[in-house]
């Protein structure tokens, strides 16, 4: 079983490895495989499911609904409001639409997908109303850099910011400098997306790929499992790989529940060094 840890200040135990759903929609055969993969993940404890109204213009949420069936209660379910909908009323309406597509009556976490042109105070006020009305349990943001996180926190009047979902993979480690330490101090969960760089996965024959392979062989694991383990090595980190293939999901589930050694961490740091200066938050 995948290990779980408290999700920021909420204290809710959430698996460190979850499941993304970007691009699960398409030809029906592929969708059915994605549904099977999501269910395989649930069986293995990958019960943090990340979706968004944006994904397939709502189609991904409907696929999640199919995958969940009667299993809603097992899941930490996350969706996101598009910035273009993030007025006060727009956020409330977008949440209702997501709930309808997902076939459930509450979300565990609702995120502003990325910064909107509407005032953050307005969006966060809507988030607080959704919490008070029982439509979401917790509120968060996505693709927010340090100052934006602080603004979101300041915009919340009687609830706390639960999470920031941001790009985090071996070639994008900029968040380790300031964002991760700040979120740790503030008990904000950091959910790293695109752990495999979306389509930028290190090639096995590249110098970095060879380092990862050696680490993987030392542990009897795969390179992807090493990557997922590395990306969740700190106490407030979570990761949400997407896989629409059951065997891939099984492999990803093996990324947690064991530990990299100091020697492994040093080798990975050397092959994929974090930046030595502050960089703007990377997206996608
Ligand atoms: P990932 O880094 O998770 O990579 C997904 C790709 O890796 C897919 O092509 C998948 O193929 C493949 N893959 C996954 N596991 C394996 C495996 N074990 N073996 C071989 N191939 C594998 O990319 P995403 O960009 O999808 O990020 C993950 C999730 O993060 C998204 O789905 C979404 O939920 C979230 N996200 C959030 C964003 C935001 O702005 N907040 C932005 C981007 C993503 P296959 O399906 O065939 O298994």
Best residue for ligand 1 mutational test, from 49, 114, 243, 254 (most atoms within 8 Å of Cβ): 243
> Is the per-residue pLDDT at 1 higher than 70?
no
Interval between CA 242 and ligand 1 midpoint (Å): 3
Average confidence (pLDDT) over 253-277: 97
- Nearest ligand 1 atom, CA 22: 32
Average confidence (pLDDT) over 125-137: 98
* Residues designated as active site: 55
144 lines ligand 1 (CB under 6 A): no
Interval between CA 38 and ligand 1 midpoint (Å): 13
Handedness of CA 123, 143, 106, 31 (dihedral sign): positive
- Nearest ligand 1 atom, CA 51: 34
pTM: 0.98
pLDDT in the model for residue 200: 76
pLDDT, tens digit (0-9, with 9 covering 90-100), for 216-250: 999 999 999 999 999 999 999 999 999 999 999 99
Contact assessment for residue 142 and residue 170, using Cβ atoms and an 8 Å cutoff: no
pLDDT in the model for residue 199: 78
Interval between CA 193 and ligand 1 midpoint (Å): 8
Interval between CA 241 and ligand 1 midpoint (Å): 5
Average confidence (pLDDT) over 50-57: 98
pLDDT, tens digit (0-9, with 9 covering 90-100), for 178-230: 999 999 999 999 999 999 998 777 888 999 999 999 999 999 999 999 999 99
> Is the per-residue pLDDT at 59 higher than 80?
yes
> Is the per-residue pLDDT at 2 higher than 90?
no
Average confidence (pLDDT) over 266-276: 97
- Nearest ligand 1 atom, CA 251: 18
pLDDT in the model for residue 99: 98
Dist. CA 23–CA 253, nearest whole Å: 20
Q: Whose CA is nearest to atom 6 of ligand 1?
A: 198
Best residue for ligand 1 mutational test, from 2, 22, 163 (most atoms within 8 Å of Cβ): 22
Interval between CA 194 and ligand 1 midpoint (Å): 5
Spell out the domains of the chain, with CATH numbers in brackets: 7-203+230-259 (3.20.20.100)
Q: Whose CA is nearest to atom 45 of ligand 1?
A: 243
Q: Whose CA is nearest to atom 26 of ligand 1?
A: 242
Tokens of 145: 């850099």
pLDDT in the model for residue 271: 97
Best residue for ligand 1 mutational test, from 35, 50, 193 (most atoms within 8 Å of Cβ): 193
pLDDT in the model for residue 201: 79
Q: Taking Cα atoms as reference points, which of 223, 216, 214 lies closest to residue 170? A: 223
243 lines ligand 1 (CB under 6 A): yes
- Nearest ligand 1 atom, CA 222: 18
36 lines ligand 1 (CB under 6 A): no
> Is the per-residue pLDDT at 18 higher than 80?
yes
């Amino acid at each position: 079983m995948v290990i779980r840890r408290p999700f920021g200040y909420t204290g809710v135990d959430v698996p460190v490895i979850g499941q993304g759903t970007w691009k699960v929609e398409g030809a029906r055969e592929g969708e059915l495989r994605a549904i099977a993969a999501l269910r395989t993940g649930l069986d293995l404890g990958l019960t943090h499911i990340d979706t968004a109204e944006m994904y397939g213009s709502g189609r991904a949420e409907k696929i999640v609904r199919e995958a969940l069936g009667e299993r809603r209660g097992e899941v930490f379910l996350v969706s996101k409001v598009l910035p273009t909908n993030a007025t006060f009323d727009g956020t409330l309406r977008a949440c209702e639409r997501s709930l309808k597509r997902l076939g459930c009556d509450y979300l565990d976490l609702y995120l502003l997908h990325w910064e909107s042109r509407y005032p953050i105070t307005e969006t966060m006020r809507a988030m607080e109303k959704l919490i008070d009305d029982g439509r979401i349990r917790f509120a968060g943001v996505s693709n927010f850099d340090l100052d934006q996180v602080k603004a979101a926190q300041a915009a919340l009047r009687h609830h706390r910011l639960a999470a920031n979902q941001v790009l985090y993979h071996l070639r994008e480690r900029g968040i380790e400098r300031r964002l991760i330490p700040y979120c740790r101090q503030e008990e904000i969960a950091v959910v790293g997306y695109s752990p495999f760089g979306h389509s930028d996965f290190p090639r096995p024959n590249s110098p970095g790929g060879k380092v990862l392979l050696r680490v993987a062989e030392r542990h009897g694991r795969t390179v992807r499992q090493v990557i997922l383990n590395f990306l969740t090595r700190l106490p407030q980190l979570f990761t949400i790989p997407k896989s629409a293939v059951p065997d891939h999901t099984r492999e990803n589930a093996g990324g947690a529940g064991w530990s990299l050694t100091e020697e492994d961490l040093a080798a990975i740091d050397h092959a994929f060094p974090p930046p030595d200066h502050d960089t703007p938050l990377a997206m996608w």
